[in-house]
Structure 1
C-alpha cells in the first residue's frame, strides 16, 4: 500500500499542477477566449464519454500494472512536449488542445487501471481503507501543488512550473514500475477462464454472464444506486464550481486573492472528510453511510449562497461552506469505494470501472455547460441553489439501500 500512496502523491501533484497551468497558459500566452477555454477544460473528460469501452477493454487486456504505467508514461511525454513547445515559442492553440486531449487519455488509462490495481494489490477487504488514505493524500496535494505552482510562476516561468508536473508524473511512474508484482486473486475464477478462452480465440461458454457494461452496472443492486448517487453529486459539483467563482467575484465583489483561498478550504475539508469517514464506514451499512454523507453535502451546499444574505463575513461563510461540502463529499466518495471490487471479478474491473466512470465522470462536462446556461439565464445564486437541489436528489437512490452492504469478498488464495 505504501507505494500506491507514494504514487498517488506524485500523480495528484502532477494533476493539480498541470490543470492549474493549462488554462493560464491558454489565456496568458495564447490569448484563448472563453469558448475555447471551455473546450480545453472539457477535453480530459471526453474520453470517458467517447471511448469508455475501449479504455476499459484496454485496461483488462493490458492488466492494471501496464495500464497505469502507460497512462503515466503518456502524460510524462506529453508534458515534456508541451514544455519544449512553450520554451521554443512554437506552441499554438491547436497544439495545446491536442496535448490537453492526450493528457486526458493518459489520465483515463491511469484512473481506470488504478481502480483495478488497488483491490488487486491491497486486497478487497482493505480497499476502502486504502481509498481513505488516497483521498487524504490527494487533499494534501491539492493544497501544496497550487502553492508550489504559484511560487514557480512568480520566481521563474510557466515552463519551469510545468516541469513540476512532469517530474511528479515521472515519480509516480517510477514508484509503480518498481512495485512488486502480485498475482491476481481471481486468477482461477470462472471469469478468468472465460477471458483465457477469448484470448485463445475460442467461443465463450454459453452459460457465461455478460460483461460489465453500463447496462449491467445499472442493473446490479447496490452498485447501481451508488453510481447514480455519485453521478448526481458530481453534477451538483460541476454546477456549483461554475457558479461559485462568478458568485464570489461579481455578485459579492470579493477580491481574486480571497477567492483563491476557497480552494485551500476545500482541500482542508477533503482531508477532514477522509479522516472522519471511518466511523461512517464501520458503524453503518454502506447504503446508510453513503446516504448520511450525501445528505451532508446537500445541507452544506446551502451555506455558500447564504453568504448573499449576510452583511459581513461573506468570505468566511463561503470558506466554511466549501470546507463542509468538501468534507461530506470526500466521505461520500470513500464510503462504497470498495463496492466494485467486491462485486466485480478482478479480470473485468477495467471494463466495469470504465462503465462506472462513463456515468459518474462523463456527465461532468455536460452539467458544466448546463450550469453555465443556468447562470446566464438566471444568476449565480440560482445556480448554487440548483446545485444544492441536485445534491439533495442524490439522496433518493440511496434511500432504497440504506440498510444494504456489499457481500464480503471471496477467500483469496495464498
Structure 2
C-alpha cells in the first residue's frame, strides 16, 4: 500500500538537503585540489573519481539494493557519506589533507551514490504508488530539487564557504547527509520484494538477469538508449562550451557561471512542466521532442553567437534535460517489477554516465581538430539522427508506458 504524502515529503526534504550539500562539494572539491597541487592530471582525477565509482560499483550496487530494505540503504549510505566527509573536513582543518585523500573521499561518496540513487528511485513507487500521474509529479519535484541543489544553489555556496575556510563546505555537506538520514528515518521500512524461490541469486547472476531484462524489454531498452544518446550529444557540445563562451560570446568566468545558472533555472522549470507533458504524451514522443530541442538549442548558440539567444537556448537545454529525466524515471518505475528496480536504475545510470564521459572526450577531440564550433555542429547532427530514430519508433510501435 502506498504511504501518505508525508513519505513523499520526507523523500523530497532529504533530497533537497543532501543534494545541496553535494552541489557545494562539486565546487569545493576541485578548488581544494587546485590548492593542493597544480598538476592538471591530479586535479582532473578528483572529478573522475566520482564517475569511476559508478563504473566499478554501479551494477553490483543495483543488485544489492534489490535485496535490501530500501530505507536501511538510504539511511546507512547517508550516514556513511557523512562520516567520509567529516573525516575529510577534519584532515583539511588540521593541515593533513592531500590529493590522494581527496580522491578517495570523492570515490567513496560516489560509491554511496551508487547505492542511494537506485534505492531512492525504487522508493518513489513504494511511497506514491504506480499511478502514472502520481509518479511523474513525484519525479518532477525530485528532479527540480536535484537541479536546484546540485546546479543552482550548491556550487555558489560551496565556492563561497570554501573562501571562508577550506574545510567548511565539506563539514556542511557531512551535516547535510546527517540531516537527510534523520529525515529518512521517518519513512516506513520499504522492504524489497522477497525472492520468488525463497533465496536470492548470487550477485553476478542477479546482475546478468537485470541486464537481460533491460535489453530484452523493448521500451526500457529504447529509453536507456535515449538517455545515453541525449547525454552523449550534450557532453560533445558542453565539453568545450566554456571556450566558445569566452571566444565567441566574449564573456568571462562570471558570465559563464550565469549561463550555467540560466540552464539550471530551465531545469527547475522542467520539473514543473514534465509531469504535465507526460500525462498526455508517450515517453518516446517526449524523448524525440527533447532530442530535437537540444539539437535546436546548440544550433542557435552556434549560429547566433549572441548572449541573449544563448541564454534562451541553454534554458531550453535545461528544461529538456529535466524532462527526459522525469519522464524516463517514471516510465522505468511503471514498467519494471519492484524486485528489479534497483538494477534498472543502476544499469541506465551506468549507460548514461558512460555516454557522458565518451561525449566529453569526443567533444574535446573534435574541437582540437576542427575548431570550437565543430562540437556544436556534431552534436546537432547526432541529435537530428537520434530524434529521427525515435520518431520512427513511435510510428512503428505505440509506447507501452501509458
Q: 1:148 aligns with which of 139, 153, 157?
A: 157
Residues 42-63 of structure 1: CA distance to partner in whole angstroms, max 9, x if unpaired?
2212233223331112212323
Q: Contact conserved, 1:68 with 1:113, CA < 8 A, in 2? A: yes
1:293 and 2:290 equivalent? yes
Is 1:82 the counterpart of 2:88? The answer is: yes
Tell me how far apart the structure 1 counterparts of residues 362 and 220 of structure 2 sit (CA, whole Å): 27
Distance 1:5 1:57 in 2: 24
Does the alignment pair 1:273 with 2:273?
no
Aligned to 1:411: none
Match of 2:400 in 1: 406
Greater helix proportion: 2
Cross-structure match for 1:23 = 30
Give the SS at the match of 2:187. coil
Contact 2:69–2:189 at 8 Å: present in 1 too? no
Shift of residue 396 of structure 1? Answer: 4.0
SS at match of 2:288: helix
Is residue 133 of structure 1 aligned with residue 154 of structure 2? no
For structure 1, the 5+ residue unaligned runs are 309-313, 409-414
SS in 1 for 2:251: coil
| Equivalent residues, number | 388
Confirm or deny: 8 A CA contact 2:70 2:123 kept in the other structure. Answer: yes
Matched, 1:339 2:331: yes
- Quick one: structure 1 residues 304 and 133, their matched pair in 2 at CA, closer, same or farther if it must change by over 3 Å? same
1:388 pairs with 2:391: no
In 1, Cα distance between equivalents of 2:63 and 2:129: 22
- Shift of the 357–6 alpha-carbon distance from structure 1 to 2, 3 Å rule, reads same
| CA shift for structure 1 position 251 | 4.3
CA distance in 1, matches of 2:45, 2:324: 29
Match of 1:361 among 353, 356, 359: 353
Per the normalisation by structure 1, the TM-score is 0.86
Instruction: Select 1:162's aligned residue among 165, 170, 184.
Output: 170
Residue number among 188, 192, 200 corresponding to 1:198 in the alignment? 200
Residue in 2 that maps onto 1:105:
111
Instruction: Give 3-state SS (helix, strand or coil) of 1:213's partner.
Output: helix
Q: Tell me by how many angstroms 1:249 deviates.
A: 2.1
| Structure 2: gaps of 5 or more residues | 1-7
2:127 corresponds to which residue?
Answer: 121
Q: How high is the TM-score relative to the length of structure 2?
A: 0.89
Q: List per-residue Cα deviations over 1:104-156 (Å, max 9, x = no partner).
A: 111111112112111122212122221111122223323222232343244x2
Q: 1:220 to 1:273 in 2, by over 3 A?
A: same
| Correspondence for 1:323 among 310, 315, 319 | 315
CA deviations on 1:260-292 (whole Å, 9 max, x unpaired) are: 111210111012222222332122222222222
Do 2:243 and 2:372's aligned partners in 1 also have CA atoms closer than 8 Å? yes
342 and 36 in structure 1: CA distance in 2 versus 1, 3 angstrom threshold: same
RMSD over equivalenced CA pairs, Å:
2.4
Which residue of 225, 229, 241 corresponds with 1:228?
A: 225
Q: Distance in 1 between matches of 2:155 and 2:199?
A: 48
Is the 8 Å Cα contact of residues 71 and 108 (structure 1) preserved in structure 2?
no
| 1:66-125 residue CA offsets vs partner (Å, 9 max, x unmatched) | 222232222211111111111111111111111111111111111121121111222121
From the superposition, tell whether residues 52 and 397 of structure 1 become closer, same or farther in structure 2 (CA, over 3 Å).
farther
The runs of 4+ residues in structure 1 deviating greater than 6 Å are none
Residue 365 of structure 2 is matched in structure 1 by 373
| Residue 100 of structure 2: aligned partner | 94
Retained in 1: the 8 A contact 2:14–2:184? yes
Secondary structure of the residue aligned to 2:250 is: coil
**Greater CA drift, 223-232 or 34-43:** 34-43
* Distance change in 2, residues 1:305/1:333 (3 Å): same
